[in-house]
Amino acid sequence: MKFPGRALAMNEVVSKTRPFAWSYSRLKNYESCPRRYKGIDIDKEFKPGESEQLDEGDRLHKAMAKRIMSDTPLPREFYYMEKHAAALAKETHPLQIINCELKLAMTQDYSAAGFFDKNVWARGVIDYLKIVPKDDQHSLAHIVDYKTGKLIEDDAQLAVMAMLVFSCFKDVVGIKSEFLWCKYSDTRTTIFTRENIKEQWSLMLPRIQKLALAHDTDNFPPTPNRLCKEWCAVDTCEYWGK
């Protein structure tokens, strides 16, 4: 699969210290505040602050994986997810394949890679993935990303997940990619094909290139925001606590 010419520009940005690799969560962390991103995601000098919402999200992801993959009953706190879990676990094709918490990675030329391979360019974890045959040579996929927070739409994240699946499963030609806002029992769905994902991907590449350039130049200035006063762990920053 060929993508817009801007993808080639990414080959020109290579970290001087280690191969550059990104994930959507790391990209969002960088865009929130480069200084915080460096302290937590790169140097690992600080640990992100724990929150009840993050802990709940981790528990829900694990519980949903066990329910869907091994029919383990959901804990009482997540009973409200049973109808969704039952629908996702349902057999819709005798040759379907379902994976939960699936770690996927790709190289800079959009080829599949092992999650910790040295040539990895992008990584992601897919909460739920179902692949069903379309015909003898092609398949269709369904991606679900569980959200335990507020209703916030983000087509870019859906596109990144879809791109990882397209790169790692060459027979997949179409993807139903959706967010499931658990507490609202609401969904947001986008359909991707190998053709229409190019538009979304062309919007992603400049953002990725900016992150890669920051790594290459070791330039991570602070961006003061609402997290500084109470939620940022990087207490060496001049804006911390302000």
pLDDT digits (tens, 9 = 90+) for 91-143: 999 999 999 999 999 999 999 999 999 999 999 999 999 999 999 999 999 99
Residue 242 domain-assigned (yes or no): no
Q: 181, 185, 126: which is closest to 149 by C-alpha?
A: 181
Burial of 241 (0-12, 13-18, 19+ CB in 10 A): exposed
Plot region of 185 (φ>0 → left; ψ -120 to 50 → alpha; else → beta): left
State mean pLDDT over 209-217: 96
Residue 41 domain-assigned (yes or no): no
Distance CA 112, CA 124 (A): 12
pLDDT score, position 183: 87
What is the residue range of 82's domain? 52-205
Residue 91 domain-assigned (yes or no): yes
Distance CA 91, CA 37 (A): 41
CB count in 10 Å sphere of residue 154: 14
Q: Is the pTM of this model over 0.95?
A: no
Q: 225, 162, 224: which is closest to 198 by C-alpha?
A: 162
- C-alpha separations of 20 from 34, 104, 140 in Å: 16, 16, 31
| Residue 214 near residue 30, CB atoms below 8 Å | yes
Which of 43-57, 74-88, 129-143, 217-231 is predicted with the least confidence, judged by mean pLDDT?
43-57
Residue 212 domain-assigned (yes or no): no
Residue 127 domain-assigned (yes or no): yes
Distance CA 219, CA 107 (A): 24
Query: For residue 41, which phi and psi values (nearest 5 degrees)?
Result: -85, -30
Distance CA 219, CA 82 (A): 46
Residue 132 domain-assigned (yes or no): yes
pLDDT score, position 5: 32
Q: Which amino acid is at 89?
A: A
Residue 73 domain-assigned (yes or no): yes
pLDDT tops 50 at residue 15: no
Residue 164 domain-assigned (yes or no): yes
pLDDT score, position 200: 86
pLDDT score, position 3: 37
H helical segments located in the chain: 6-9, 24-32, 34-37, 52-70, 82-89, 155-168, 197-217
Domain count for the chain: 1
